[in-house]
Structure 1
Amino acid sequence: MLTLLAHRDAKHVVQVAGLQVHSDRVEVVTLDAGPDFQRDWLDRAAVQGGPLLLEPEGALKFARACLKALEAIHALGVMHGDFKSDNLCIKAIKMNPESGVALDLESLRLIDFAYAVYREQPLRFVLPTDPDRLAYMPDTYRAAIKKAQATADPSHIQQAACAQVDLYSLWYMLSNVVPSNLQDGRWMVWQEWMHACRKAAREPLITLTAFDAPTKQMLALTEKMLGQLAEPQSRWAQVATTLPSWEIQSGETPLANAHPTKLLTPLIEIRLSAVTTGASEPSSQQMTVQASSVKLKDQPSSSTSRVRQNIWQYQRWWVIVASLAFLYGWLDHRFAETGLKLTDLGFGLGLLAMALAFPVVLGALWRAVFHSRSACSWVRYPGLVLCGIAAYFLVVLVPVGVSVSQLMAFLVLLTLLVVALLV
C-alpha cells in the first residue's frame, strides 16, 4: 500500500525507502522523518489534563491538515481504515522557552496502513481485529467487519469501504482535541464544522459519486470557515498548542527513530508439520495460523478466481473497445455489400459514433497507463451510446443483410458490452 501511494505521489503519507528481504520475512523501510516527529501528541494533552487546542482557528487549521492528508489518499481510491491520533505523525516546534509547543501542520504524515482498503484491488483476507473495540469507526463499517469475519469473506469490507469511514474517525478524534463545553460565540464556527463533519460521515453513499467527494467538500468548508475567522492563509501551516513542552516520556513511534524504520510486522513463518504429523502440541496462535493456511490450500480456486477478477478489472476496457471496433467494422462492411444508403438519421448517428470513438479509445489507453478511475467514465458513457447506435444499425440491416441468428448473436454481444460498461 505504501509503495502504491509513493508511486501516485500521495502527499502527507510516510514514504517508502525500500525493502529488506530476509530468509523468513520481508520488511518495509521508510524514510527517516527526524527525531522531532511525534505520534503521541494527543496522549500528551491527556496526561497534562486539558485539551490540546484552545482557539477555534487552531482547531480548524488542524482539521484542515488532517483533511489534506485524507484527500491525498482518497483521491486515489484508498481508505486508511484506522485513522486516529496514534497514526498521525507531526513535527513539534519550540519557538522559545516562554512559548508553548507548536505543530508544523505541513509535516503531518499518515502511518500504519495495515487496515487500508484500495478500491481497485479486492481484499484477499480479513485481518483479525475486534470491531467492538473500534469506537472511532461508524457502526455500518464495524458491522461489515463482523460479517466478513463470520463468513470469511473480505468482500463485505470492500463494499463498505468509503471516505466516510475516515471522516467519521476524524470527527471522533477531533471531539477529543478541543473542549466540548465551550460557550464562547467564537466557537460556534467549530461546533458547526463538527456537525457538518459528522453529517458527512453518516450520509448514505451514492454509487456515481467520486470516492473523494465528501473529503473535498469538508476541506472546502474548512477553508471557508478559516476565512470567516479572518485567519490569514500564511498562518494555516502552524498551530499553537496548550503543551508547555515535550518533557513527558513519549512512546515508540516509527517516525521518531534516527535510523530507517521498519513499519511492517515481520511475516509469520507458517509450518504445517504439526498439523500433518502431530509431532508437537502447537499453541493456540499457531493453531489459528495453521488452520487458516490449510483452509487456503484446500481452496486454490478461490485465489485463482480473485486473480482472474483482478485481471478483468483492469483489462476489460480494451476488450470493450476491441468488441465495438469489430462490431462497427462488420456493420460498415455489410452496408457496403448491400449498397444500403443511410437516412439522414443514420448519417447523423454515424457522425456521432465517429466522434465518440475518440474518447473511448483515449479513455481505455489512459486507464491502462495511469490506472485512473476518472478515465473509466470516458469509456463507460460514450460506450453505452455507441452500443445504442450499433443496435439501431443492426435493426436497419435486418431486411437486407442480417439473418436472425446473426442479429441474436450481435444483440447478445451488445448486452454483454452494456453489462461490462455498467459494472
Structure 2
Amino acid sequence: MRRSLLALFLVLVFLSACAGAAGAPPEPDPTPIIIPTRTPMPDSLLEPTDSTAICGLEGPITLGAVVSLSGSAERVGLTIRQGMELALEEINAQHYIGPQAELQLLFEDDESDKDAAARAFRQLIEEQGVVGILGPTLSTSSFQAAPVAQAFGIPVMSTSNTAAGITEIGSYIFRNSLPDADLIPNTINAVREEYEFETVAILYGDDDLFTEAGFAVMQRAAESQELQILGVERFATGDTDFSEQLTRIQALAPDALLVSANQEEAAAILIQARALGIAAPIVGGSGFSSPTLLSTAGPAAEGLIVGSAWFISNPLPENITFVDGYRAKFDSEPDQFAAQAYTGVWLYAHALRNACSDHPRDIRDALGTLRLVPTPLGKFSFTRERNPLHPPVVLMVKDGEFTLFRGNE
C-alpha cells in the first residue's frame, strides 16, 4: 500500500511540474551575437539565396531612411534618396515582398550632422515604429546614430559608410558599402603596378571620421606595399583654398598623390593641383567616385583614379535595369552612392521576403543569411561581421567619364 501511495505521489509531482513549466512565461532569449571576423564566407557557404517563395505578409511595412538632405553632404544625400525611391517603386510594382504587402520609406534629414542623425533614428523608432533603417549618410553620423538602433534591436543598413568600425557597433548593424580597407589598398596596388611608382604624398581632411579613416588606410597600404611617403598634408572640412598644402606637395615631387576627401572638397583639390602643375597621378578615396565631381572639376579630373564598389557601364542585367530606370525617372546619371542606396532597399526586400516576417529580429537574421544576391554591384553577400562581399573595381577618368582602369585587365 505504501509503495502504491509513493508511486501515486511521484506521478502527481511529475504532472504538477510539467503543468507549471507549460504555464510559465518563457525565459528571455538573449540576442545572438554574430561573431566578428575579417574572413569572408567560405565558398562552400556561398549558396545563392532562394527568394522564389511567395510570402504572405500583408499591409504596409515601414522602413526609415536617414539621409543628408541638407548640410555639407546634401549632394550625396540627394542621389542616395533617389536610388532608394527607385528601388521602392520597383519592389512595390512587382509585389516582390507579397501580393498584399507594401513597402514604405519614411525619410528624415540628418542635416549632415551626427546629433541630428541620432535624433532622427530615435524619432523613427519611438514615434514611427519602423522595423528597419537605412543610413545615415556620413560615417561620423553613423557612430552616433547606429547605437540608438542597436539598443532598440532595430536593423540598420548603412549604404554610404566606409569608415572602419561601423558594423562593430552591434549585431543589428549592416552596411553594403565596401569599406575603405577593401577599396583603397586594391586601388593603390593596381596603380603601383601600372606606373611602377615608388613615392607618394598624402592629403586628407583631419576633422572628419570618413576622411581620417581613409587616410589611415592609405598610410597602411603605402607602407605595406613599400612605398615611401614623402609628406602628409591636412585640411579641414569646408576649406576651399588648398594652395599651401599642394605647393608643399609639389616641391616634394611624389610619383603619386593620394587624397582622402569628401566630394565637396575633392573637386577644388583637383582643380588647384592641376593649376599648380602637379602632373602625378591622383588617387582618390570613395569620396571622388561621383559624376557630379567630374562635372564640377571639368578637365582637372582627367586621369583621376579611384577605387569603387560600382561601375556604371557594368553589363550585368541588374545594373542595366538600375541605370536605365534611374535615367528615366530622374533625367540624370546615377553614381555609386545611388547604386548602393538602391541595392540597400532591395536587400531589405529580399530579407523581408525570405523571413516572411516584419519583426526586426527576423529581418536582422534574414539579412545575415543573404548570399550571392544579384545586384547592380555584382553578386552580393554579407560577411560574418555584416560587411559587404562583392568585387571592387578601379576606375580612371578618361575623356570626362569614368572608365575601367587598365590595371583591372
TM-score range, shorter chain: under 0.3
More strand by share: 2
TM-score with structure 2 length normalisation? 0.23
- Structure number with greater Rg is 1
